[in-house]
Structure 1
Amino acid sequence: MDPFSAEGELLNLHNYFHQGQFQEVVDFDAVGLSKENALPARVFALRAQIALGQAKDVIADVQGEQEPELVAVGALAELAAGNESKAGKIAEKLAKESGDNSTVQVLAGTVLQAAGNNEEALKLLGNHQGNLEAVALMVQIHLQQNRTDLAVKEVQAARRWAQDSLLVNIAESWVGLRVGGEKYQQAFYVFEELAQAPATSSIQSVIAQAVAEIHLGRLEEAEAALQQAVAKDPIQADLLANSIVLNAIAGKDTKELKSSLSSIAPEHHFLADLHEKSSLFDKAATKYSSKVAA
């Protein structure tokens, strides 16, 4: 594909987004694109703004728009802005009325998944016709449900019709981190390449490399990778969450990191999961407290 053609430009935009190069997506010059290509380019730019923390700006931008794609972007922005209930209602309506739209599948599916409606999200995503973003989100949901077997099947099926796609490689690496064994090293190679290539390096790719290093037991290398990410953005939520995990494994104090994460992202899934596990531990411990005291 000619990288300077309209299709090539959109593919570049797609890759930039999924490599975490959000500012490059926002700065992309869409002048000259046809109407057909201008809409998906705008959607990517708006999604990149959301990823950069500009959800309220996006909500204002798409207010009153009627295209399902832009309504779906609005739902995602509402979710990012903390308006989960409103986002969920928009996503449910879109799923019923525009479930065959590829953008709706991914963005409304993301909102539904975030609300815990995994089965509804999977039903919507299952309507896709060769949509790699839908495949990647389905893989994430299956992994969240501890259905690694279904995640493996999704990746294997996508590999047959999307040989060397960036998203397939990334999704396969997610699965590899769950499967373990030699898959850890394979996943590391993918994330390392993304993290070290000047054109694709981003905080997300560096974090992914660090996670692979942790699984491989290479804690010093993981710390070096996370420090590299800290230099780019010291208050990135996922970076803080993974730093907490690394410090805990290394036997280091995590109090300050937890406080920082609670301050910038109090609803972060890591904190929610940590709270749930702590509550379960305390509940289990009460069964043995009287015996220990005796």
Structure 2
Amino acid sequence: MDPFSAEGELINIHNAFHQGQYQAVLDFNTSSFSPENALPARIFQLRAQLALGHTDDVLADVEGDTEESPDLAAVNALAQYVGGNVEAATQLAQDLAENYPDNATVQVLGATVLQGAGRSEEALALLGKHQGSLEAVALIVQIHLQQNRSDLALKEVQAAKRWAQDSLLVNLAESWVGLRVGGEKYQSAFYVYEELASADSTSAPLSVVGQAVAEIHLGRLPEAEAAISTALERYPNDVGLIANSIVLNVLAGKPTEDLEKRLQETEPSHALLADIHEKSDFFDTAAAKYSAKVSS
């Protein structure tokens, strides 16, 4: 394959992954890629498998290769985290961050694991070593938003726009900030996802979830429910769709038990499950203080 053609195909794989077109990522034929392009393509395909809930397949795929490749070791860490083995995943991510801090895959996947384990500052320190990585920028924005630091997230987006104005990831990151800032930014974010969806005949989860979240903020709950439900029928194991469907059911006063069970089976370490369990424990503790006392 012509190297320029292979590089173009790699960009297509990159864009398809970040649009949530995970099956399309897996369907790319990378057999003729050079070693330089084959590894990043393989990384995206392994990540797509994780996104589709095929954690065991990914762990089996990288077994035996992790000692020779920090990139595949980082995939292993992410797969262990997604599979619920948080302690081992976090330790591996920390080791990789210490030994391969300049590796772009280690930066993004390692930081994802560290952030999931509640180690935000370590994650940001690792991501701060990136050299023009849009994935790193997008993850930094996500972390700042989780920290309720919309100001820092916006600053990161504005800095990235100076050197990657038309990038898909920068546009998405700007829409994430818009959904947090609110006001007229809700509609702007909706337009980003609407345009993404119009160019995507597969109704990929990312564009559907983005549109649905914007719809919720714009007070269009039925439209959000319809979009999520339709996409969930097509992608029953997509964790983003499942998690947002749980949120929608809560807002609509509908039961969530089956969805929570599905999320537990697909990604046991998902942050929403941890939040639900924490809130449940708080409720039980508070309720115990006011339990009825029956006198004999």
Q: Normalising by structure 1, report the TM-score.
A: 0.89
CA distance in structure 2 between the partners assigned to 1:25 and 1:78 by the alignment: 21
- Provide the identity percentage: 65
1:97 positional shift: 1.0
What is residue 5 of structure 2 aligned with on the other side?
Answer: 5
Bigger shift: 258-267 or 35-44?
258-267
Mapping of residues 1-294 of structure 1, within 5 Å: 5-65=5-65, 66-199=68-201, 201-254=203-256, 257-258=259-260, 260-262=262-264, 265-280=267-282
Q: Which has the higher contact order (CA 8 A, sep 6+)?
A: 2
Deviates more, 1:230-239 or 1:278-287: 278-287
The aligned amino acid for 1:43 is I
Q: In the TM superposition, what is the alpha-carbon distance from 1:247 to its structure 2 partner? A: 3.0
- Displacement of 1:114: 1.2
User: Partners in 1 of 2:255 and 2:150 — Cα distance?
Assistant: 32
Gap runs ≥5 in structure 2: none
1:62-109 C-alpha deviation (Å, 9 max, x unpaired): 222212111111111121222222211211111111101111100111
| Aligned residue pair count | 289
1:264 Cα offset (Å): 5.1
How far, CA to CA, are the matches of 1:234 and 1:43 in structure 2? 23
Q: Offset of 1:282 from its aligned partner? A: 5.8
CA distance in 2, matches of 1:72, 1:89: 11
Question: Bigger shift: 70-79 or 272-281?
Answer: 272-281
Distance in 1, matches of 2:229 and 2:3, equals 34
Conserved in 2, the CA contact under 8 Å of 1:69 and 1:103? Answer: yes
Structure 1 gaps of 5+ residues are none
User: Structure 1 201/267 Cα, relative in aligned 2: closer, same or farther at 3 Å?
Assistant: same
Give the 3 Å change call, closer, same or farther, for CA 7–262 of structure 1 in structure 2. Answer: closer
Deviation at 1:260, TM superposition (A): 4.9
Give the deviation of 1:265 after TM superposition.
4.8
Q: Relative to structure 2, which stretch is displaced further, 261-270 or 65-74? A: 261-270
- Superposed CA RMSD in Å reads 2.5
Structure 1 pair 263–33 and aligned structure 2 pair: CA distance change class (3 A) = closer
- Report the alpha carbon displacement of residue 273 of structure 1 after superposing the two structures with TM: 1.4
Mark the CA change 1:244 to 1:122 in structure 2 (over 3 Å): closer, same or farther.
same
The answer to whether the Cα contact below 8 Å between 1:194 and 1:200 also exists between their aligned partners in 2 is: no
* Alpha-carbon distance change, 261 to 69 in structure 1, aligned in 2, over 3 angstroms: closer
Q: TM-score, with normalisation over the residues of structure 2?
A: 0.88
Query: Which secondary structure state, in structure 2, belongs to the residue aligned with residue 5 of structure 1?
Result: helix
Give me the whole-angstrom Cα distance separating, in 2, the residues matched to 1:191 and 1:132: 19
